[in-house]
Amino acid sequence: MRSLTSPMFSISRSGGILLHPSSLPGRFGIGEIGPEAIRWLETLDRMGHKAWQMLPLGPTGYGNSPYQALSSFAGNPLLISLEGLRNDGVLTPDDLAMVPAFPTSKVDFDAASEVRTAFLKLAAQRFITQCDSSPLMRLAFSVFCEREAWWLDDYAMFIALKEESGFLPWNEWPSHLALRDPGAMEKASERRASEIAEVKALQFFFHRQWQKIRVRAKELGISLIGDIPIFTAHDSADVWARQDLFELDEKGNPIVVAGVPPDYFSATGQRWGNPLYKWDVHQAEGFAWWKARLRKTLDMVDIVRIDHFRGFAAYWEIPAEEETAVNGKWVEAPGDAIFNAIKEDFGSDVPVIAEDLGIITPDVEALRDGQGFPGMRVMQFAFGGDTLAEDYVPENYPEDSVAYTGTHDNDTVVGLFNSKVGGDTTRTQEEIDKERQSILNYTGTDGSEIHWDFIDRVWKSKSRLAVTPLQDLLALGSEARMNIPGKMAEFWTWRFTWDQVTPEIEGKMRQITEDAQRLG
């Protein structure tokens, strides 16, 4: 493996926290990209951290998963700071006083979405009206709409038509709209003009607020690490706008879908349902769509983690009619061709982290190493029955890797250590007991502070960047888990409160970071 020279590691040996913005504190039902996000950056700085990693920032659709977004290019309006809109004068203190009380420890997506959408629409309507009387704001909005038109026009139309249809998936719309008949699109553009303008205004709000976060992060020397899912949701502006790039039938329905075969997480595999790419069409266009997707993400963050990186070497193709992922097959993907084309535009050192977990074969390793992308090492995987367990022991991590105590798909460290038969685990009691004893033997502790044991070992590894989910830093159990792969349930809802991040925790984390020479 080569040594790390990509821009992401110009930040030097350092540490960071994995936390999605939706998990930030606040009284408006979901974490926001406003004052609380700035406070979070300053908290990271006090702990000596130089990275904030998050999940995809796109607008979530069915199931509220950031990995099934309505757009690969838009920001999630639910994350827009209502306080920020008040400061901009498009919401008033009286407006905010009318927002009902929400749970502070979790996101009630249905309730929060209903209430917040009403206030966001109000803010957008006021903004559009006020734009006419404010030359500066009118100019800023106009410049934004013109600069981002290449994705914003399709996204705004998609959302406006989705609302008109009662939020049906686009392939269930009238065929002339689903298949984008030019005459029907022109009429829809006129008919839904006000709704289209509102959608664009909300994206203007999101991007304007996000840039304030970027500025503060740069002031503090903190890198923002974003996330790109390899696949896109079928019910998205991406697929609707460029149906020729995906494996769809003449009505817009997927022919084959993405997933992974049976593995550590699921006995029947995971059937994600995302339509697969027509890679020959992408290649004929010089992978322009992928270049645009990566470029847009890097406008928002400094480093990009690409989820399910192995799908660029070969992906699991499942016939759309199959209910599980069992009856799929591996299909080769043009990985080197994709990244070579990207590097022609971006330069040789693209700031990418390859999510290389799961079934990793020699072709995946060759693609990752040949392209010079650091992979991931997750300490939780070091103690099970997996034949690759030794690779996840912190002492074995290569420098060109990113080390984690766990990810958003794992149980928390405390949850893993205290797990029981049933619930969210498929392991037997014997397997649980053996894994727990392996953890104790490795750490040489009694397990009373197992989260600190994991963080300390990961931070002392050779990996240039070390990351822990905030849940592990706070010693939270399985109740704080963000997601369980392959299961449909109420996930992505966890939030923290500021009183959980005590001065003692901040101080200990900074000390571990300093001892591991990760202060940056």
Known catalytic residues are: 307, 355, 409
Cβ atoms of residues 432 and 425 within 8 Å: yes
Cβ atoms of residues 254 and 320 within 8 Å: yes
Which amino acid makes up residue 84?
Answer: G
CA distance 471 to 355: 20
State residue 379 phi and psi, 5-degree precision. -60, -30
Count CB atoms within 10 A of the CB of residue 143: 11
Cβ atoms of residues 406 and 380 within 8 Å: yes
Handedness of CA 30, 31, 36, 39 (dihedral sign): positive
Instruction: Tell me the three state secondary structure of residue 306.
Output: strand
What the block records as the tokens of 139 is 């100019």
CA distance 518 to 510: 9
Burial of residue 338 (CB within 10 Å: 0-12, 13-18, 19+) is: buried
Residues whose CB falls within 8 Å of the CB of residue 17, separated by 6 or more in sequence, listed in order: 44, 47, 49, 51, 52, 53, 467, 468, 469, 470, 473
CA distance 458 to 468: 9
Can you give the three-state secondary structure of 217-280, one letter per residue?
Answer: HHHHCCEEEEEEECCCCCCCHHHHHCHHHECECCCCCECEEEEECCCCCCCCCEEEEEECECHH
